[in-house]
């Protein structure tokens, strides 16, 4: 067994133990819950890394991976359609994970967004972590560190938006930082504040989505539909059909009927 596999296994076991401990403590200590979630993400990433290194994801699962990538891309297509309809002359900024340029999944999402938008006026950038933790000594370069969504802060998000201030629409595929309420974005005048669209409404930090959509602070959010189907039939080839099978886009127009799906 390679050293990278051994380190990955140690990290996964340690994170799993920590997650179990935090889960038991969260009833008496609410602050333990986000730590437990962060550790769960570490466990998942470590597990995927080990499966990848062991070539578990072989050709037999290629079609399943392609289907999931197509489902994911359908969100980009529908967001593009939403922007084209509701925000004329949009200059779109997609806030991405690190190394998104190497990800077939993310490149598919961006391509589908441009297709739905009807033009290429889209700029995708990785969120810059200002105070990024150093990679531990001996940790393989190809082994993922803590997910960006767990490292990012309001200052990171503000810095990324400031560096791309020409955009009037921001699409985040990594959610918002835990201290999202401290972002300068909310304090900007409405006519200067870029429209914000969130992909996967789970990671919103201290922001409550329903009021944020109602007040126009968030233009739209895509979430897993309450009627989502996860079966062996795969993804419909048409983006709109694939989207309807798995997701729902919530904005002011359908907020009332979907209020319970938001926190």
pLDDT tens for residues 169-190?
Answer: 999 999 999 899 999 999 999 8
pLDDT at 207: 84
Q: What is the dihedral of CA 61, 42, 100, 2, to 10 degrees?
A: -70
Pick from 184, 175, 185, 181: nearest CA to 207? 181
- The whole-number pLDDT of residue 47 equals 61
Q: Which pLDDT does position 148 carry in this prediction?
A: 78
Q: Residue ranges of the chain with pLDDT lower than 50?
A: 1, 56, 59-60
What SS3 class is residue 223?
strand
Q: Which residue in the block uniquely carries the two structure tokens 């109602």?
A: 214
Judged on CB neighbours under 10 Å (0-12, 13-18, 19+), 117 is buried
Q: What is the pLDDT of residue 262?
A: 74
Asked if 201 and 227 count as a contact pair (C-beta separation under 8 A), the reply is: no
CATH 3.40.50.2300 fits 62-261, yes or no: yes
CB 111 within 8 A of CB 144: no
pTM confidence score: 0.75
Sequence-ordered alpha helix ranges (H) in 119-238? 148-151, 154-163, 209-214
CB atoms within 10 A of CB 257: 9
Enumerate residues 6+ apart whose C-beta is below 8 A from 91. 121, 123, 166, 167, 168, 169
For the beta sheet containing 169-172, the strands, ordered from the edge strand earlier in sequence to the opposite edge, are 122-126, 92-96, 169-172, 195-199, 220-224, 247-250
Q: What is the distance between the alpha carbons of residues 182 and 67, in angstroms, rounded to a whole number?
A: 38
The pLDDT of residue 157 is: 94
Six-digit token string for 231: 């079966």
Q: What's residue 64's pLDDT? A: 82
């Amino acid at each position: 067994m390679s050293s990278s596999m051994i380190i990955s296994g140690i990290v996964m076991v340690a994170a799993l133990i920590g997650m179990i401990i935090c889960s038991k403590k969260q009833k008496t200590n609410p602050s333990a819950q986000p730590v437990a979630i962060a550790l769960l993400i570490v466990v998942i990433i470590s597990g995927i890394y080990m499966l990848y290194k062991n070539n578990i994801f072989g050709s037999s699962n290629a079609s399943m991976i392609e289907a999931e990538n197509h489902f994911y891309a359908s969100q980009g297509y529908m967001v593009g359609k939403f922007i084209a309809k509701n925000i004329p002359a949009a200059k779109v900024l997609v806030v991405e994970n690190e190394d998104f340029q190497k990800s077939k999944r993310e490149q598919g999402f961006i391509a589908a967004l441009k297709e739905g938008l009807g033009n290429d006026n889209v700029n995708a950038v990785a969120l810059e972590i200002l105070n990024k933790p150093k990679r531990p000594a001996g940790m393989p370069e190809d082994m993922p560190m803590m997910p960006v969504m767990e490292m990012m802060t309001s200052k990171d998000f503000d810095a990324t938006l400031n560096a791309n201030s020409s955009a009037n629409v921001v699409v985040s595929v990594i959610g918002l930082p835990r201290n999202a309420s401290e972002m300068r974005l909310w304090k900007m005048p409405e006519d200067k504040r870029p429209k914000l669209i969130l992909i996967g409404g789970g990671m919103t930090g201290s922001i409550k989505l329903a009021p944020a959509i109602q007040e126009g602070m968030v233009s739209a959010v895509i979430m897993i539909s309450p009627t989502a189907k996860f079966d062996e039939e795969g993804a419909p080839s048409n983006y709109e059909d694939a989207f309807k099978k798995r997701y729902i886009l919530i904005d002011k127009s359908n907020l009332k009927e979907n209020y319970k799906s938001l926190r």
